[in-house]
Structure 1
Amino acid sequence: MDSLLNNLDPELRNSVLSIVKKVPESVSIFQKVYDAGRTSNNEFEPLRKSQKLGNESTSEESIDRSSVIFGLNDVSVLSPLRKKLNLALHLSRGDKTPTLSLLRDGRQELAIRDLGKNITMAVFLPVAEKMGNVYLFITYTKSVDDKYGDPILITLNKESVLQQFKQNGIIENEIGEFTKCIEYMRKQAILAGFRITDPFFTNSSQQSPSFHVECHRGTKEGTLYFLPEHLIFGFKKPILVFQSSDIESITYTSITRLTFNVNLVTKEDEKFEFSMIDQSEYNKIDDYVKRKQVTDKSMSEELKAKSNYKNQQAAQGENNEPSALKEAAQLMEGGNEGGNLNGAEFDDDDDENDANFEEESGSSDGSDESGEEEMNDETADREAMREEQHDEQHEMEDAEAEEAEDLEQEQDGGGDADDIPIELDDDDDGDDDEGSGVEYD
């Protein structure tokens, strides 16, 4: 009972005490009502003494818990301010119109009303390299009192959001899919008059799949999101948002083996360069450009034309200029007519070729005489070769004759004279030298 009374403002506490004095049994009822209220709305801070309920306060600095459509506790807000805040989708106190608020200690830090008109885009986006987190990104025309104008960027931890949904009885304890949380938040947004798109998580069957690439803008590293109707670069200030219909052209520049740059030009002639994009992302970006019918004014076609020109020049060079092998073959055919390059055979008496050789090698600096000397040396070499071959032939014949003579002598000395017929010289002139019975050529 004390915890109940301590969290009520003095006027309300006196009213409760007066009822309890008259009906003591009402103490347990008040306590149950208080506990039930805290359990069903535990994403908000307990009521402070300065807070009022119902229509007793028209201040936009506090909200009525009974008007809350949906809320999340302790979310990380990155823009337009950086701190842990509570997110609430609720009805305003005055005219009960849907309102989106970021709260701290129950007080509004930022509020947007007329959500159907003021919110221009709301989307869930993946966090690069952090699979456990999701961005909620919202752009709007104006906030209450025009206090802020930069987009709202909130980081949602999937596990934390799942636990809050289960504690509040929004989803069953057995459910572990974060997509169920996304589906619920989208339905609540529709009730409030605006839509939160989800191009990455639950709409995998869409015809134009969304994607994101890592890149730089100047020295700032960030993520470039390609969405069905928008391009977003973030998330360091300033966050850039483009409608795809407002893009005049895209240019690919600084193309290397690993990376390339994208230069974006809007229809208002604003230029933005996104650099150091991985080459593996080119096809996806190029497909996006073609789907959106954005003009590609890059140098790629010109570079292709230059490349084709070089290829054509190379092809013409192959057709018009003989290769080194062909050129060498032509030179050999033109300079060695009538002879074999390997020196296998030469015509010994080719006077006509000798004359042509002398004519072609003639010059005014005395090269005729050197040519004649070279020919004489060549002729002398041929003659020496013939003589050497002739001497070898005679040596072979002499060797064969000696072998025949030795064989015959062996037959005369080692065999029976009666068995071997021998013709005797009938002449008695005594010239035994010439009648040896062996003939020589």
Structure 2
Amino acid sequence: MSSYIPEVASVFPDELVKRIHQTVAQNVKLQQLFLDIAVFVKTRQTQDGLPNDKKRKLEYDATVTTHTNGTTQNGLTEPTIAYECKDVSFQVPARKKLKLQVVADAQEASRQEIRMQNQQSNGIEYVLPSHSIEQAFCLPVPDKQQRQWNFVLFPKPGAITAEGLPSEQMVFAMNETKPVGATSAAQAPTEHDTFVTVTERELNRVLQPQGKHVVIPNPAEFASSIEQAHRKGEKAYHVKAFRGSKDGYLFFLSNGIVFGFKKPLAYFPFSAVNAISYQSVLQRTFNLVISIQEETSAEAKDIEFSMLDQADFAGIDEYIKRHGLNDASMADERRAKAYNVNKEKKRTDVDPDAPAVAGGEEQSELQKAEQQMQDEEDEEEEDYVASGGESEGEGDDSDEGEEYDEDGGQEEGMDEDMGEEDDAEGDEE
């Protein structure tokens, strides 16, 4: 619901209209009250034959001032507009150009939020508090001649607005051009800044108190093998796919998988994934099935993405195996650890020359668990082979143990060749 009230704008002077809209933006529950007042005043004006001139100036008391950044009105502090940018193309929750505002409050983190503001009326159309954001991403927009990035904000499951409605996802695009017209209260843009870099920096300021930051694609995690026809030589980080009849793009990132950009977008954090498998693997395409555990259900839910290009199969498969997402037995461990890619951790078990990837500590634990499982399987295999007739010390280093387990004929042949060693081993048994 928009906080802009046409009835207020048609009745009251501009100065008062602005103050009312600012108040409603802070507390949307007051919107109905102001609407009722405006209707009442308009009715009385009509009944009394008074002129309806909303351009009249109010005779303010000397003690009352309008809100500005860092000032107060009757003891109330107006949060600082830390960042503002006009003519931003939003796709979700509304598809139109609006003003982006990042509101900061150093004393009260709960008042830090991202706003969508109507550029004509200055009414706030949507507010997403920073403490309601589960994760923020900055993802390149595919198939665009001019480089663009979509900022994607996912609310936490169950997050609600001030009106008591479920919080919505937010998606808006930024160009890699100089941030002309963008204003920041904390840091003026440098000569190397673009709309993308400035917006990422300002979002990180309000996300940092929540222990989060904007996540961007990393070639160390995944990069597509398909060359972009419109920008040759430049890496692509998306894989085109279909979810049912809806087409979109999959992004394989350091903390999970994102599918966008049409509403509703989907985000699959590692902790929510039970397992990932493949179906309908053909010569040119394959399907990807993500099994997730929803908080509201005891049963896992399978979500299938179809028509992925075979050229990206190897890269996706390597990503899935690296994070253990193909192993359903590791799901409980992932949920228990609840991957947190936004907190820096000491990394003592990785190559110091390798690119730094957030969440490295959890990843190393996953690798350790996989190695432990492999060691246990190797030990069981060695015990089985030893009891099958090989002399002590033989076959320990063989890579073909599983073949011998399955092919009894090969074991018999080895027994005949061993001669006296077999007899001796039989006596020991």
TM-score between the two structures when normalised by the length of structure 2? 0.49
Q: Highest Rg: 1 or 2?
A: 1
TM-score between the two structures when normalised by the length of structure 1? 0.48
